[in-house]
Amino acid sequence: MIARAAFLVVAAIAVGSALGLILRRNAIHGALFLVVNLGSIAALYLMMGAEFLAAAQVIVYAGAIMVLFVFAIMVLIPGKEEIGPDPHRRARLLALPIGALLFLLLVLVVARRWTGPAAPAAASGTADAVGRLLFTSYLFPFELTSVLLLAAMVGVMVLARRGA
């Protein structure tokens, strides 16, 4: 009962901050809303027993990625491009009914099917357990990730070079 109430509170925070992200004109406000959203998702990970992921979520997403976003927003000084009238307003408003349709589809296909009996004893996602899995069954994808990050790093340097 308490778990359910806690879930509803955190879910309300997550949905509210997500709406704030897409409704506020100012990109900095949107970034701060996204930080709140990422934090609430970290709380949901904790509720599902994924401790390592909750920590990684706060460190990688709310920490590193959002700092990068805020940095880019500060450098680019946006906010001027969404003040004027929108020439494609009618086409953009089509997103609302189509989004509602997509939501109905997702709930009908994915969420409603999973209301069966209770789950088996859930494995706890401690750093120990996840790390063991990461370095045994998922070793090759893990090494590939390092190559991907290296490629991203080199690519960003090439893109950010002056006169590129």
Partner 1 sequence: MVPESYYLSLSAVLFTIGVVGVVVRRNPLVIFMSIELMLNAANLALVAFGRRFGNLDGQVVVFFVMAVAAAEVAVGLAIIVAIFRVRRRLSVDDLSLMRW
Contacting partner 1 within 87-126 (CB under 8 A): 87-88, 92-93, 95-96, 98-100, 102-103, 106-107, 110-112, 114-115, 118-123, 125
Position 60 contacts partner 1 (CB under 8 A)? yes
Candidates 145, 119, 123, 122; CA nearest to 132 is 123
Position 85 contacts partner 1 (CB under 8 A)? no
Rg for the chain (alpha carbons), in Å? Answer: 20
- Least CB distance to partner 1 at residue 22 (A): 4
Candidate residues 9, 36, 43, 47; the one interacting with partner 1 per rule CB under 8 A: 47
Candidates 134, 125, 132; CA nearest to 51 is 125
φ, ψ at 28 (rounded to 5°) = -65, -40
Candidate residues 9, 36, 43, 156; the one interacting with partner 1 per rule CB under 8 A: 156
d(CA 120, CA 13): 29
Size of the site for partner 1 (CB under 8 A): 87
